[in-house]
Amino acid sequence: MSSPARFEHSTRSVFLAGWLAALLLAGCQTIKPDDPRLEPPVAPDLEPPRELNKVSLPTYRIEPPDVLQIEMLKLVPLPPYRASAFDYIEVHVANVLPEMPINGYFRVETEGVVNLGSPYGTVRVAGMTLEEVRQAIEKRLQENFRNPEVMVQWAQVTAAPPVNGQYAVGPDGTVNLRQYGTVHVAGKTVTEARVAIQEHLKQFLDSPEVAVEVIAYQSKVYYVITQGAEMGDNVHRFLVTGNETVLDAIAQVNGLSQLSSTKIWVARPAPAGFGCQQILPVDWQAISAGGETATNYQLMPGDRIYIAADKMLTASNFLGKVISPVERIAGSLGLVNSTIRGYETMGRGYNHTRNGY
């Protein structure tokens, strides 16, 4: 072997020996696959939000069983609408008595007339269209005034009842607007729902305008699951308000139970076919006793906070479940055996007494 080859071989041997010596001195260590320190760093925009750097939740999407408040801002029936009793008409007239103007809302009385007040009198308008109402008022005023200028518009009509009120989103994702039918709003934002309702009402009203607001956010939730140490898990469901953290969620279930350990994590729902779980380990001692915020994550809709059970209690309860049937069987066999022995003993005593022993 040439000198360069021997030198290279010697160098490799020294390196291998040094590596083996370092491994032996370090000892054997167990690697925990769930250790958060093993996770590679992620980009800042992918970091989960925490207690001191919360984010706003995505635009709210309406789902059952949310409750909406709907207010009608403009309620005019499709033309040609004809006036009827209890309708309200907005009337503005120029070139009449300045000290007694005609500006305001006037109700169509039961007799079908509008009372413009003294000294203008009443005008019959029942059964008339809006233009016919304007002409009738103008004709009445022309009896006493020169060139009255009349403007009228519908203010409120009885033939088009308003949709004002609270509406629960049904299981089919619709809101029932009573006489106006149903509108599908599930999966829509508030703005999209308002547009959908207005488009639907155009079948019955002239250029309707509505205001929509969610007054009961009931469709976005998170869960707290407490493992029951072989005694059954408990699941708690809470509404998301957009500000909850892990500590808030555990406070909702009155803290950790006697069956719980301090091993906690947040399981965040992943899209179907994502291929892996989204697990956020929680350091309970750090966020509770130490006030650290690194693992006090902000909760998102659908999150599961999982609280693992104490391993010793789990093992004890498991053994109890395994041993209990054996103990019952042994107890039953012992009872049968003692009963048989009792009958045998009683029989021998009875025979001894009968035979005079």
Domain ranges for the chain, please list them: 67-75+161-216, 88-156, 221-309
pLDDT at 343: 72
Burial bucket for residue 116 (CB in 10 Å: 0-12, 13-18, 19+): buried
Asked if 88-156 and 221-309 have one fold, the answer is no
DSSP character string of 275-330 = -S-EEEEEEHHHHHTS---TT-BBP-TT-EEEEEEPHHHHHHHHHHHHHHHHHHHH
Lowest-confidence pick of 55-64, 87-96, 223-232 = 223-232
pLDDT reported for residue 205: 87
What is the per-residue pLDDT for 351? 55
Find tokens 């070139």 and name the residue: 95
Q: What is the mean pLDDT of residues 141-149?
A: 92
Instruction: List alpha helices for the chain, DSSP H.
Output: 3-26, 130-141, 190-201, 246-252, 284-288, 311-354
Of 10-24, 108-122, 274-288, the range with the highest mean pLDDT is 108-122
Q: Of 47-61, 184-198, 252-266, which has the strongest mean pLDDT?
A: 184-198
The CATH class of the 88-156 domain is alpha beta
For residue 89, pLDDT over 60 is answered with yes
What's the rounded mean pLDDT across residues 98-119? 93
Using one digit for the tens of pLDDT, what is the confidence trace for 190-241? 999 999 999 999 998 888 899 999 999 999 999 999 998 878 889 999 999 9
pLDDT at 35: 52
Q: Compute the average pLDDT of residues 104-116.
A: 94
Q: Is residue 350 very low, low, confident or very high in pLDDT (cuts 50, 70, 90)? A: low
221-309 — its CATH code?
3.10.560.10
Say which range, 261-270, 310-319, 336-345, has the weakest mean pLDDT: 336-345
Per-residue pLDDT at 348: 56
> H/E element holding 176?
strand 174-176
CATH of domain 67-75+161-216: 3.30.1950.10
With cut-offs at 50, 70 and 90, classify the pLDDT of residue 285. Answer: very high
Instruction: Give the model's confidence band at 353: pLDDT under 50 very low, under 70 low, under 90 confident, else very high.
Output: low
Q: List beta partners, residue 168.
A: 67
pLDDT for 24 equals 43
Question: Using one digit for the tens of pLDDT, what is the confidence trace for 1-46?
Answer: 555 444 444 555 544 455 445 444 444 443 344 455 545 565 666 7
Residue 49 has pLDDT above 50, yes or no: yes
Q: Does residue 233 sit in helix, strand or coil?
A: coil
